[in-house]
Amino acid sequence: MKYAVLSPNQMLICFDHSEQVAEYCLRVDNHELNEYAEDQEYTYETMTPTEIGQLYTEVGAVYGGCQIYETRDILEMLKEQGADQAYIDKANELFNSSSLNNEIRCPGFLEDVLGEITPICPAQMTDGIYFMRNIDSPREEKDNG
């Protein structure tokens, strides 16, 4: 499966594996967090864990975070919207090109389509480790009593 990731500054990059996507999103989010903290003159050393959590929320509200899409969903949406075959071919070629191993400015014709697709949440790509259902799931161990 191939993923396209749109960063908060409208840069597009593709990955083949969900682990790469999660790593990239974490790196971008941490960069935005550090810049925002510096701009606001916050220092992590003097902040409580609650304040750092609030900082993450503020940064998410200001920057929005990365948006993750499956490339096949983008191609399907282009088809559904009746896009010219040339645009569909151009998008497909772009997704399979080595040029998207590095960030590029998101092409305008893709920006419109991405606005019509619900992005994948980064937590969905990490095998559910951030979902509450793991906390309440039954234990595999049994008491010996």
Instruction: Enumerate residues 6+ apart whose C-beta is below 8 A from 52.
Output: 44
49-93 tens-digit pLDDT = 888 888 888 888 888 888 999 999 999 999 999 999 999 999 999
Residue 12 half-sphere exposure toward CB, CA atoms < 13 A: 22
Of residues 59 and 6, more confidence is placed in: 6
The answer to whether the beta carbons of residues 107 and 94 sit under 8 Å apart is yes
Return the closest-CA partner of residue 12 out of 84, 128, 119. 119
Of residues 129 and 67, more confidence is placed in: 67
